[in-house]
Structure 1
Amino acid sequence: MNKPIYLSAKEAAAELGVQPATLYAYVSRGMISSVAGAGKQRRYDAADVRRLKGRRALEEPAGTRPLTGDPVLETELTMISQDGAIYRGRPAVDLAENATLESVATLLWGCAHDPFADPAPLAPPELPNGLGPLDRVMMALAAWPLQDKAAHTQSPKLLQTKGAALLRYGVAALLKTDPKTIPVHTQIAQAFGVSSKAKHLIRAALVLSADHELNTSTFAARCAASTRAPLHAALLSGLGAFSGPRHGAASGRADAWMAEITPETDVESLIADRLARGETLPGFGHKIYTEKDPRSHWLLTTLIASEPDHPFVRQLPVILKAGRDLFGLFPNIDFALAAMQKTYELPKDSGKIIFCAGRMAGWIAHALEQYGAQEQIRPRATYIGISAS
């Protein structure tokens, strides 16, 4: 067996072209393994370093600077490792067993008192017909000041309670219902008309979707909060980024190709045909997790255990194996949400609805944390255009 090669922190950082702090962040996420070295120094697995360097090279076209991977701010909310997200010291996969979105929200928001104890807010104003769920929420949030005279407050005493009201208000807009005080997973289960097994998975999916550190939509929400935009406007910023097909709407892309699967489908051939045509496999692969996405793994494992006789669920192991064998990829949370939708015959866009409802709790948490920071987020760009004559 080949003996592993280890590098010093200086050598590993130099190979990656990053600062030591970024190297340590990769280690904390489980992307690079390390072992104890001489004295207090640690040594870093050269194979992991070079594998990560190769991934970065593939993801960064020539002439560009990386916009993913390197830490740009500090947070006390969520840490990501290869074992999944950790919410203020609590692994999300552990919380998925029994926690509600509301209890996770109070954890992320650092609440000393229950912000969900107040009555539900008023319903959003009547919205135009034909809007999708994300468009409904955006329009409803823009109208929030109509019922909240303190919508622009920056008072820490009011913001947590306002966050709870906005979460209930946003969920109501997603579902086209009135805001309620019952748990969010119960509201969604009632709106979808599903079984207790599906309700359990919806609850867990909300918890696992609540936060994922500095993803694109969360960064957008934090940028807005750093300008001291009001909380509903910070949520609007997050929603705008979330609505793209490379983020919150990605489960719809997984839905589309999975709709071709019937009990008679040769799924391995179906996936092989996508590969032969040069098509991607939506719902597989993740920028952070080098192997399994722990959120997807938890949901799919639970789904397979809960519905072992369902025709589609019986095909899941074959689908997952084909994704690994043919594309070298593992399923992400978008695939898990699409699999839940297909198994339980949930309404169209249910994956987006569940993901968005959960992630709103995280956007609120990040906005609240950003309100407590003095600095306004203002990155710089490297100009590569024509020089002044």
Structure 2
Amino acid sequence: MSDGASAGIDQRERGFLRLEWAREHMPVMAKVRESFQRERPFRGMKVAMALHVEAKTGILALLFREGGADVRLASCNPLSTDDSVVASLKEDFGLSVYARRGETNEEYYDYLNRVLDIGPDIVVDDGGDLVRLLHTERKDIDTVIGGNEETTTGVVRLRAMEKNGVLRFPMFDVNDAMMKHFFDNRYGTGQSTLDGIMNATNLVIAGKDVVVAGYGFCGKGIAMRMRGMGASVTVTEIDPVKAVEAIMDGFRVERMSQALRHADIVVTATGMKNVVRYDDLLQAKPGLILANSGHFNNEIEVDVLVSRSMERRRVRDHVDMFRLENGNRVYLISEGRLVNLAAGQGHPAEIMDMSFAIQALTARYLAENHHRLERRVYPVPREIDMEVARLKLESMGVEIDRLDSEQERYAESWEEGT
């Protein structure tokens, strides 16, 4: 569709088209939807969700409702909301959504509290703020039987709560499900981070010196995609095993203070605060571009960058220039927030198809088994991972081998040798 034609589409209609496009490219979710509409596993239950509010998450929210739930949805990041999708979810589907792009800090928490006002049975969180509120300001809510956590940052917080003995209900670590982190974190984050940076800057990647902070699955995906676009990639790490892995994968490994001296672009993906410090930026290569692909906007020392810089100026829609105390210039994309959603379109629909199928099926497992679960962090049951993998292969028209009866006996025996 030409720009002239699309200009005639209002915001609600644009959101509806984005939702329809996502639905059409999420075949695993389509299979889950069939069973949910038939079985209604969440009949009479209330689901509170805090996710990046865009087309793919909209389809997940609608899936919970199709499974019988009363659903409320808020954003888990002030800059990751697609306002057109919010408009369509409200007007076309009658969904209770509390989100807008560019929320203030006060609005962000007000919206999370409005979602919790439903008195949820199940929470679906991304980053851990919804669960944190339930353990601090909203202890009055005692209806929650458990929930799911989508991302690394939230899982780290949950494990700290479990270790400290304060977790009030069981939570599932969706992030570390095989069909989530193998594909969402690596291929989804890799592609969508590149999309956000290219959209924000309109600069070539080939020939650039790119530093990736963190070599978990997200960092691996970013490093892989950057190298595929022709960049020279350096990895920074605190984990010696991951550092060795990065070297064996063909990447240079350095400390951040050293890598900044030659970097053209730095992308953080660690889940840790202050990975890029202001004082180190004073020694950075002039014109450095900073982007964050971690959940929170604290991986780059943004507050100090704002307070100590001599000048701040918006130079592109998603890019601010900061002139440092020594006169050096650095460019920050999307205020240091999640670059793939704040400046891009988020993960591809086919990727989120698998991740959100994990979310939905794990929530069903929780609804059916919560009475025998303890107040701890659980892995996603292996059978759910295998079911999503099977449905994904089926949607791709791929068949794989199976063990015959003799092979099954062999696999379970120990007597037979050479």
Q: Which range, TM-score by smaller chain?
A: under 0.3
TM-score, structure 1 length as denominator?
0.27
**Greater helix share, 1 or 2?**
1
Which structure has the highest strand share of the two? Answer: 2
Ranked by relative contact order (alpha carbons within 8 Å, sequence separation 6 or more), the top structure is: 1
TM-score (norm 2): 0.26
